[in-house]
Amino acid sequence: MKLKVLQLAPLYKPLAKEIGYGSIERIVMGLDSEFTKLGIDSYISALDGSNINGKLLTCPNVDDDLYKAQGEVVLDFLKKQDIHIIHIHRRNFLRTRAFDFCKTKNIPVLYTLHGLADDLLKKFDFSVDISTLHNLFFNAVSYYQAKNLSKLFPIEEIIHNGIDITLYSDVVNQKRDYFLSFGRLNKEKGAHIAIQFAKRCKVPLIIAGNVVDQDYFRSSVQPYIDNVNIKFLGELTDQKKIPIYQHAIAVLMLGEYNDPCPLVAIETLACGTPVIAFKRGGIPEIVEDGITGLLINSIDEGLKKLKYLDKINYKECRKKVTTQFSLKRMAEKYLALYSKLIEKIKKRST
């Protein structure tokens, strides 16, 4: 029987082939791409105007509750089309009539927990008793995240994020003459710390990303931009950011945010570029100290360890991603989890 998978995308913006900012959107579209290659019936519920490989369930851009509207679109679809599993990447789905329908019809629902415990506490509806929902399952995107969320959710599996490695290639024996800080521009992501580090190392710095906190940008980043030692490129699409990754000495990830499985680190290594990062969140599961980057606890420690950067083999950086964080590997792990959950539901309903 041909597997039919429905993913529920976040509703911040339409899904597009060229993405600026949006790590969850990349995961949704990446899985869709791999599933369609394998002949799986891949459906995605996303905003009108989305461009995907599979089949789109258009969610209208309504002024009211977008997620409630998405629930109604999904409910209408489920009444007409058999689906083997629903994979959620968005806000809470549990109070929608669509989820009630899934319970009644014993359709397994997998919830990938993108984010931190504090964020999920705000977004998840804990008034619903999870233990009573026999068709609801959760997976984490790192061991770090699973450890922090296991008290809130029964974690079924840990599946790290993956990227399409065919988009990236390492650059060997090319000029590498700057550090790169890439990601959204707010205090917790730490562009201001990257500026301090680069200045103390006397290495030029390129900053790229979307400004989400204008006050922070104006006070802590903009005054240092001189377009000589410190440049700001703004938000970059995938194709534009790849050469910037490839020619960096290293990518700096020196923020306060405990990102459970940062795609920036994975994308960096895929280009054969090391990462210099604070040892926090899911970073140590991606970056191996002294092998694919430098893990540090402070700027001072980073300055002391900088001499070891020259010993890092750029090919080892890319190898780490091709063997552990490829899109293909991630998709295979999700498909194995889907099969496991579908069988669980079958056994419970007989």
115 dihedral zone (left: phi>0; alpha: psi -120 to 50; beta): left
**Distance in angstroms (rounded) separating the CA atoms of residues 67 and 93:** 8
Q: Which structural domains are found in the chain, ordered by start?
A: 4-162+326-349 (3.40.50.2000), 165-324 (3.40.50.2000)
Mean pLDDT over 191-195 rounds to: 98
H or E stretch at 5: strand 4-8
For residue 5, what pLDDT is reported? Answer: 98
Model confidence at 63, pLDDT cuts 50, 70, 90, reads: low
For residue 141, what pLDDT is reported? Answer: 96
Beta strands 136-140 and 109-112 are parallel
- Residue 320's nearest CA partner among 297, 279, 278, 290 is 290
pLDDT above 90: residue 111: yes
Q: What is the pLDDT of residues 277-301, one digit of tens each?
A: 999 999 999 999 999 999 999 999 9
What Rg do the C-alpha atoms of the chain give, in angstroms? 21
> Percent of the chain beyond pLDDT 70?
95
Model confidence at 126, pLDDT cuts 50, 70, 90, reads: low
Mean pLDDT over 148-161 rounds to: 92
Q: What is the arrangement of strands in the sheet containing 205-208, beginning at the earlier edge strand? A: 230-234, 205-208, 179-182, 250-253, 275-278, 293-296
- What are the tokens at 148? 């922090």
Q: What is the pLDDT of residues 233-250, one digit of tens each?
A: 999 988 889 999 999 999
What amino acid occupies position 338? Y
